[in-house]
Amino acid sequence: MDAWRPDPRAPPFVPRRQASLRARGAASLRRPPLLLLPRGRRLARLVQGGLMLVLMVTIAINISFIVDKTRQLRTPSATLGSEGDGGGAGVGRRNNLRLQESPPKTLMVEVLSSQNRVAVTVDGATIVEEGEEGKGRGIHVVVLQQASGAVMAQRVFDTYSPHEDEAMALFLNMVSPGRVLVLAVKDEGTFQMKASGRDALRRLGSVHAHELGWRDMWAMVAAKGGRVYEEQVSRSADFNSWGTPITLKAEVALVPLQESECSWPDTDEHRRRREFCGHIEGYGSVCSCDDPAPLAFTTEPLLNNQVHEVPVAIIASNRPHYLYRCLRSLLAAPGVNPDMITVFIDGYYEEPLAVTKLFGLRGIQHTPLGVKNARIAQHYKASLTATFNIFPAARFAIILEEDLDVSPDFFSYFSQTLTLLEEDPTLYCVSAWNDQGYEHTGSDPALLYRVETMPGLGWLLRRSLYKEELEPRWPTPEKMWDWDMWMRLGEVRRGRECIVPEVSRTYHFGSSGLNMNSFFQDTYFKKHAFNTLTYVELKDLDSLKQGPYEELLAGMFSRATLLDHTTSPCDEDFIPDTRGQTFLLFIHMAHHKDFTTWLQVAKCLRIWDLDGRGYHRGMWRLNIKTNPLLIVGVPFSQYSKYKPASLQPLNLETTSKEKTKASDKTGVRR
Number of neighbours of residue 5 by Cβ within 10 angstroms: 5
Burial 109-128 (b: 16+ CB within 10 A, else e): bbbbbbbeebbbbbeeeebb
List, in sequence order, every residue forming a beta bridge with 507; answer none if it has no partner.
Answer: 405
Can you say whether the dihedral through the CA atoms of 427, 433, 434, 435 is positive or negative?
negative
Residues in CB range of 212: below 8 A, 6 or more apart: 189, 190, 193, 198, 218, 233
664 in active site: no
**Interatomic CA distance for residues 60 and 491, integer angstroms:** 84
484 in active site: yes
- What are the CA-CA distances from residue 342 to residues 357, 389, 391, 433 (Å)? 11, 12, 11, 21
**Interatomic CA distance for residues 226 and 550, integer angstroms:** 67
Closest CA to 339 of 309, 364, 316: 309
Estimate the crossing angle of helix 164-174 against helix 195-203, to 10 degrees: 30
**Interatomic CA distance for residues 464 and 484, integer angstroms:** 18
DSSP class of 542: G
Number of neighbours of residue 547 by Cβ within 10 angstroms: 11
Query: Do the beta carbons of residue 166 and residue 157 sit within 8 Å?
Result: no
Number of neighbours of residue 424 by Cβ within 10 angstroms: 17
Kindly name the residue from 158, 165, 187, 403 that is annotated as catalytic: 403
| 165: phi then psi, degrees, rounded to nearest 5 | -65, -35
DSSP class of 326: H
- What are the CA-CA distances from residue 120 to residues 226, 230, 249, 610 (Å)? 21, 14, 10, 42
Query: Do the beta carbons of residue 408 and residue 329 sit within 8 Å?
Result: no
**Interatomic CA distance for residues 647 and 184, integer angstroms:** 64
Query: Do the beta carbons of residue 366 and residue 346 sit within 8 Å?
Result: yes
Closest CA to 610 of 503, 482, 504: 482
Kindly name the residue from 216, 405, 409, 484 that is annotated as catalytic: 484
Can you say whether the dihedral through the CA atoms of 68, 69, 73, 79 is positive or negative?
positive
Active site residues: 403, 484
